[in-house]
Amino acid sequence: MLDPRFVRENPEQVAELLRKKKFDLNVEEIKSLESERKTVQASAQNLRAEKKQASKQVGQLIGQGLSVDEAKAQVAEQLSKIDSQLAEAEVREQAILSALDEIMLGLPNLPHESVADGDSEDDNVEVRTWGTPREFTFEPKDHVDLGEKLGLDFDAGAKLSGSRFVVMRNKIARLHRALAQFMLDVQTGEHGYEECYTPYLVHGHALRGTGQLPKFEADLFKTNAEEQEQPHYLIPTSEVTLTNLVADSILEADQLPIKLTGHTPCFRSEAGSYGRDTRGMIRQHQFDKVEMVRIVHPEQSFEALEEMTGNAEAVLQKLDLPYRVVALCGGDLGFGATKTYDLEVWLPGQQKFREISSVSNCLDFQARRMQARFRNPETGKPELVHTLNGSGLAVGRAMVAVMENYQDEQGRIHVPEALKPYMGGIEIIE
């Protein structure tokens, strides 16, 4: 979350910055709550001072000749009244703080000054391109038509689980597995990430830590709360589990940066994307992803953002898949991100670039929620770390890109050179 004190003291400035994200901050509500908080807090402080002063009167009355019991009895009524007023003030102060906390949990991260204005993905800024889309001597098919005879079975997925699920068989399933293993090897062997295996089910506090709760609960799959003390949620991304490994921690400065990666399925109800990308594997309820997470010193997070984007690009370059990098505009920027680069791979079947990775710098937004800190060696005091996350890459979308870019006129898929060591000698999927 944002620094609550900064928001309370500078609501107009925060509101102006959040307009770039198309978020309307209720400034008057914050100012009203903050004004009342200060009034109640001052009242509570005055009452505590009165109580302290009243307690001293016992000794003064004894000094004036009253017995201990007489002195206490004389002051007791005054203390009881003060205690009652103080309890009311403390209850109200806590209610105001709770209301402010709820507002803070719903506020997105502030966009970086370099983020362009814009309303949607149409206003994102192209940063660079790599590779040249292949010129086909035939009309290329999309992955759905290609996969129909190769083991990509959407009917079986729907039979088992409903729409937006898929069953993979035979060499297509092998290709999907090969891509995940290849991506993990690139990130661990060449870029220095530590491979992790983490749970697929988490408690709500982990999702609050990375910003999925409370705002995006409708997009999550949740277990039956009545059967458990607290429900579990299926992870929407292993960003949740990898980042939360440093929650409630004070790291030493020499432990930074921490670079983590993991391959997991991801589960999303896609409640906010009704009707979008219903064909094929672009937007599924269950999909696989190799995630990258970094925990870094605050002074190094923007340098890390550029490096992580390059780490994701390396996978596409090794697969020889044309792509472009775009910087997201304010209106397309995610809830927890201050700046994001999207990698968009070329899909011949759609004749367009489609997102295959997002790499985001969250600054201390998640760290403040998680209380993830490091000890500054110069001051000896704990400070919030910065967190970053990115796809390295989305496995299903990478498979779509391989299928469409490496197809031939017979509907066969030629395995990219980089994947051949992972395919057990298979060079053509037919």
Please give the structure tokens belonging to residue 80: 């009881």
Query: From the centroid of its chain, how far is CA 136?
Result: 39
Q: How many CB atoms lie within 10 A of CB 358?
A: 19
Question: What backbone torsions phi and psi does residue 322 show, to the nearest 5 degrees?
Answer: -60, 140
- The string over 94-122, giving b where at least 16 C-beta atoms fall within 10 Å of a residue's C-beta and e elsewhere, is eebeeebeebbeebbbbbbeebbebeeee
- Write out the binding residues: 237-239, 268-270, 291, 355-358, 389, 391
**Which residues are CB-contacts of 275 (< 8 A; sequence separation ≥ 6)?**
none
Contact 301, 388 (CB under 8 A): yes
- Write out the binding residues for ATP: 268-270, 355-358
- Which among 410, 406, 412, 405 has a CA at the least distance from the CA of 429? 412
- Write out the binding residues for L-serine: 237-239, 268, 291, 389, 391
Please give the structure tokens belonging to residue 276: 């979008």
Q: Which residues pair with 249 in a beta bridge?
A: 372
Distance of alpha carbon 146 from alpha carbon 134, whole angstroms: 17
Contact 391, 315 (CB under 8 A): no
Distance of alpha carbon 56 from alpha carbon 53, whole angstroms: 5
